[in-house]
């Protein structure tokens, strides 16, 4: 009770209407997670039950798994879990669309039923107990709550180093991305409805959501080691996400090319004058080294620039197609207390 009055004072302070206890959906993307999915269902389901009993979330709250085209036994296990308990719902995508699209599919489906949605990885690395603080912040008026990891102790040197470098680069390029926030995040129905208006294929939710500008908050949590299995983010998936992160949020690299072009132009202009003066003085030395350096430099800069421009042209091409960002193959969702009456929705 004490917590509730505290929350209400907070709301009056920021002038927000009192919220009702939300129906909460946990959206859990799964790609080849057969080793961990049963444990996840147990831990996440248990947390939802405890929160419901404590009156922190409303009845009808659920765990919604999104199978992202797994090639192992994940989908069969998920269907079994959902057939035993209406607490669990399963969306299965037609293929492997990637983490971001899987989360999007889950959130866009969950917003039909939920007042708030939290996305969390299947591997239980993100501390589910932080959910209490997500909810407190939601009750106090936040539309978006970002989970931020306390440290990167559980990561290897390579992941830690590249992550730090990457966040610095993103900030340098003007992105509003929140450092050390991976997609463990609460969004209210209002924020999700707004997100639905963004139609981009080049999806980088961590960069996009902060630009929407709702009242938001940050909750810190500890990262644990993966419960089982290994990381599903291959190096190429990581590189794709990293480039999407840059190209979807900023066109600054293009402007940097213009700047670079200008510098190279000034440089070659000066070099031309020097060569001309040399020639006029009769110092007609065969300048092999200078010639090589200049042509290599200009060649390199040109190719790099073309590559960067090409990256954007490719993205424009993909956006212009307006392809669906995911396709739902099957969807299992059952009304509470109707476990026997098999209301299975297949889309």
Q: Which residues bind ligand UDP (CB under 6 A)?
A: 29-31, 33, 68, 96, 98-99, 102, 121-123, 125, 231-233, 237
- What is the contact mask toward Mg ion in residues 100 to 129, using x (rule: CB under 5 A)? ---------------------x-x-x----
Q: Which does 211 bind (CB under 5 to 8 A by kind): Mg ion, ligand UDP, none?
A: none
Shorter beta-carbon distance to ligand UDP: residue 99 or 206:
99
Nearest Cα neighbor of 344 from 86, 113, 75 is 86
Shorter beta-carbon distance to Mg ion: residue 122 or 140:
122
Size of the site for Mg ion (CB under 5 A): 3
Q: Least distance in Å: CB of 125 to Mg ion?
A: 4
Residue 309: in which H helix or E strand, if any? helix 288-321
Q: How many residues does the chain have?
A: 347
Shorter beta-carbon distance to Mg ion: residue 225 or 239:
225
CA 89/CA 62 separation, integer angstroms: 7
Q: Which does 34 bind (CB under 5 to 8 A by kind): ligand UDP, Mg ion, none?
A: none
CA 107/CA 324 separation, integer angstroms: 15
What does the block give as tokens for 228? 């089982």
Q: Which does 291 bind (CB under 5 to 8 A by kind): ligand UDP, Mg ion, none?
A: none
Residue 164: in which H helix or E strand, if any? helix 157-172
User: Binding of Mg ion at residue 247 (CB under 5 A)?
Assistant: no
Do 126 and 223 touch, CB atoms closer than 8 A? yes
Q: Least distance in Å: CB of 53 to Mg ion?
A: 29
In what side-by-side order are the strands of the sheet with 144-149? 216-221, 144-149, 185-188, 116-119, 24-30, 62-67, 88-93, 328-332
CA 265/CA 242 separation, integer angstroms: 31
Q: Least distance in Å: CB of 69 to ligand UDP?
A: 8
Shorter beta-carbon distance to ligand UDP: residue 45 or 215:
45
Q: Which does 189 bind (CB under 5 to 8 A by kind): ligand UDP, Mg ion, none?
A: none
Phi-psi region of 137 (alpha: psi -120 to 50; beta: other; left: phi over 0): alpha
Shorter beta-carbon distance to Mg ion: residue 115 or 121:
121
* Site residues (vs Mg ion, CB under 5 A): 121, 123, 125
């Amino acid at each position: 009770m004490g917590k509730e009055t505290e929350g209400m004072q907070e709301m009056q302070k920021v002038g927000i209407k009192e919220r009702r206890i939300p129906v909460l959906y946990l959206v859990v993307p799964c790609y080849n997670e057969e080793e961990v999915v049963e444990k996840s269902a147990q831990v996440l389901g248990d947390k939802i039950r405890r929160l419901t009993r404590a009156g922190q979330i409303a009845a009808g709250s659920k765990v919604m798994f999104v199978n992202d085209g797994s090639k192992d036994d994940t989908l069969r296990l998920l269907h079994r879990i959902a057939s035993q308990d209406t607490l669990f719902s399963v969306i299965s995508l037609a293929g492997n669309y990637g983490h971001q699209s899987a989360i999007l599919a889950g959130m866009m489906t969950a917003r039909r039923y939920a007042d708030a949605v939290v996305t969390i990885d299947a591997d239980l690395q993100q501390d589910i107990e932080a959910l209490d603080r997500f909810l407190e912040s939601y009750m106090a008026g936040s539309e978006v709550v970002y989970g931020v990891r306390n440290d990167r102790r559980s990561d290897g040197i390579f992941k830690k180093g590249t992550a730090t470098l990457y966040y610095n680069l993103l900030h340098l390029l003007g992105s509003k991305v929140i450092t050390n926030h991976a997609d463990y995040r609460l969004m209210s129905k209002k924020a999700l409805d707004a997100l639905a208006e963004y139609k981009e294929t080049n999806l980088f939710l961590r960069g996009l959501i902060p630009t929407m500008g709702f009242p938001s908050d940050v909750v810190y949590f500890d990262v644990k080691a993966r419960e089982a299995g290994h990381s599903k983010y291959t190096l190429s998936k990581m590189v794709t996400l990293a480039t999407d992160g840059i190209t979807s949020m900023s066109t600054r690299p293009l402007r940097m090319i213009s700047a670079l072009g200008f510098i190279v132009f000034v440089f070659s202009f000066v070099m031309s004058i020097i060569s001309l003066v040399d020639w006029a003085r009769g110092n007609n030395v065969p300048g092999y080294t200078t010639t090589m350096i200049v042509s290599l430099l200009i060649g390199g800069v040109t190719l790099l620039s073309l590559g960067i421009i090409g990256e954007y042209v490719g993205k424009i091409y993909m956006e212009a197609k307006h392809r669906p960002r995911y396709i739902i193959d099957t969807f299992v969702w059952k009304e509470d207390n109707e476990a026997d009456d098999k209301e299975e929705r297949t889309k």
